[in-house]
A and B are shown apart, each in its own frame.
Chain A
């Protein structure tokens, strides 16, 4: 089993990692957080397609934010 992936490359899964991935995909339920992200993203795409850019006011919050 192995996982091969790099930031600018594809992902290759073998053995148990491949089987688990397929199982999670096959049995996974719709993810509410993903749906909400996609909904917000769709609105942003629509705005960018209309005007070429998008403006928004950043939220005032102390919530820590992570990066890739």
Chain B
């Protein structure tokens, strides 16, 4: 497991999560982590997803439009990491596909879930767009260190 090499120290928390917290979260049903391993069972990439929600607090300010729901169930991609030696081989994309598939095909029909959401790193926004995620198009969000991106599962 510790063979996972992510390169830039900025990604150290991703390795720390896998080595120190992922198993405990799995056992406690706080998160689910899916790993991609090579032929020698060495982890080359992983993705962690959790249950969450998107809460919208709107001040109507006398507007005619009313919003029926203030909380939307969602699955969040909490962690995604790919070993630097196998980047560019669509491993990350495959794990995101799997997370979307799990959410749409297993979670949604049995529990109810409208969105899959991620706090994307700035440098990953294009990657998530390619996977079908939509950026919340506000200046506040675009300027965030980790902008919110989402997929409306009703439209997949």
Seen from chain A, the residues whose Cβ lies within 8 Å of a Cβ on chain B are 1-3, 5-22, 24-25, 28-38, 40-46, 48, 54, 56, 58-68
Contact = CB atoms under 8 A, between A and B. Distances in A.
Contacts of B97: 37-38, 40-41, 44
B78 A8 contact: yes
Per DSSP, are chain A's interface residues mostly helix, strand or loop, or mixed? mixed
A2 B139 CA distance: 11
Interface string B4-40: 0010000100100000000000000011000000000
A30 B53 contact: no
A37 to B, nearest CB: 5
Contact of A31 (B30, B117, B134): B134
B155 A34 contact: yes
B133 to A, nearest CB: 7
Q: Name the interface size band of chain B.
A: 35 or more
Nearest to B129: A33
B130 to A, nearest CB: 6
Interface of B: 6, 11, 14, 30-31, 50, 52-59, 67, 74, 76-82, 86-94, 96-102, 104-106, 117-121, 123-124, 126-134, 136-138, 140-141, 144, 146, 148, 151-153, 155-156
B152 A28 contact: yes
Given A28-B152, A44-B101, A66-B124, A11 B54 contact: yes
Nearest to B52: A10
Contact of B105 (A2, A18, A41): A41
B55 A13 contact: yes
